[in-house]
A and B are shown apart, each in its own frame.
Chain A
Amino acid sequence: MIWEVFRQEKTGGYHTHCGNVHAPDREMAQQYAAIQHGRRKPTNSIWVVPRDEIGEINDDEVAFGGTTDRSYRWATAYNTTGEDASEVVESEDEQADAEKRRGEA
């Protein structure tokens, strides 16, 4: 049985998928994951999840983000004065970054 393993580096951080382990049950999966995925990198917490319990939808089944042009949703589509509040500037940077990465995907 395969258990997917998610590692959290620091309290409050996300548990990020880092691999899997073969184990007959949860207890053994936890023990193995501690060694296999928590030994060499800073680790605060580990989740083990039976692979069969994970629901997946992929690009073939769903058009993620829709198919029509919705660039109006992006702050970067608008001209700004350059003197906006720092929150707006930050948000704009985040969106520009997200857009860029969306293009790469």
Chain B
Amino acid sequence: MAATFENPADLEEREQMALSTLLKRLGDDEFVLAERYTEWQVRAPSLESDLALANNAQDELGHARLWYDVLEDLGFKERSLVFEREPSDFRHSTLVELPFEEGNWADPILRSYLYDVAEELRLEALEDSTHPKIADRVRKIQSEERYHLEHAQSWMERLADGDEGHERLQDVLDRLFPHALTLFEPVDSDVEADIVDLGLRDATLEELREEWLSVIVPYLESLDLEIPEIDQTDDDKLEVAVDQEMLPDERGRDGGHTDAWFDLYDEFTRTYRELGRSETTKIMEKPNEQ
């Protein structure tokens, strides 16, 4: 079974579904987050922070492209994955689709932190993927992701140091935390089980979420931030019971999205539609041809 992913054309339906679901989770998160990040272009607090976030957005778009490219092995086309796709078919977490609070720099910073820790953990869980292309691309992505996390943490620590910045971070955390939990929600629980059974990823969503909480909770607490709705029963051991009530109404992964997503989708597909396009413009070689 381990070698079957070498030849995507030979895959059975169940394997195809597991692979495409995993790749949509990965690619859609990166793509939509990058779309949102670019809204800060020329609006960030300084030229430097503007460039840093724009750089991160470019990285995320590059990563989305790597994952969408693997999807193309299964017969998908770029236009059907991005510009002509039903918005409800996107599998990203609601964390990445929410609009930023206008002018609140703590929002992209904290969002980036919550996301990039999860990203780091899930990439680790893909390092030994049975799909050789996935394992190979993970390494390419990891070095760029390290910068994103350092960038977010540098800012977090400096914002948390002042009263106003701290208050803003706490407000943003209260708003974003439930949405961050959707990062670990299933698209479909059977398919999610297949992703792990087939060795595409070696950790379950629950395991990733536990790991994520064990990283972010102590860090946020070290900045005197309170994690909403988390009861810690034992000081030594983190026992966080995430129940369904903590999650937002829309989970993203299952195709349920907030209204803001449909507006964003209209926006980034507008030019494609207005120009009456039926193909995407190709300006770069496919990633594996580089």
Q: Which residues of A contact B (CB under 8 A)?
A: 21-24, 27-28, 31-32, 34-36, 39
Contacts and interface: CB of A to CB of B under 8 A. Distances in A.
B51 interface: yes
Interface of B: 46-49, 51-52, 55, 147, 150-151, 154, 158
Contact of B52 (A24, A27, A31): A31
Nearest to B55: A35
Contacts of A28: 48, 154, 158
Contacts of A24: 158
A36 B51 contact: yes
A23 B158 CA distance: 12
B154 A39 contact: no
A31 B47 CA distance: 13
A26 B48 CA distance: 14
Contacts of B55: 35, 39
Contacts, number: 27
A36 B158 contact: no
Contacts of B46: 22
A17 B133 CA distance: 40
Nearest to A21: B48
Most chain A CB within 10 A, of B147, B154, B158, is at B154
A36 B154 contact: no
Given A23-B48, A36-B48, A36-B51, A31 B158 contact: no
Given A31-B52, A34-B147, 14 more contacts: A22-B46, A22-B47, A23-B48, A24-B158, A28-B154, A31-B150, A31-B151, A31-B154, A32-B48, A35-B48, A35-B52, A35-B55, A36-B48, A36-B51
A23 B55 CA distance: 17
Contacts of B150: 31
B52 A32 contact: yes
Contacts of B52: 31-32, 35
B154 A35 contact: no
B200 to A, nearest CB: 32
Contacts of A34: 147
A35 to B, nearest CB: 5
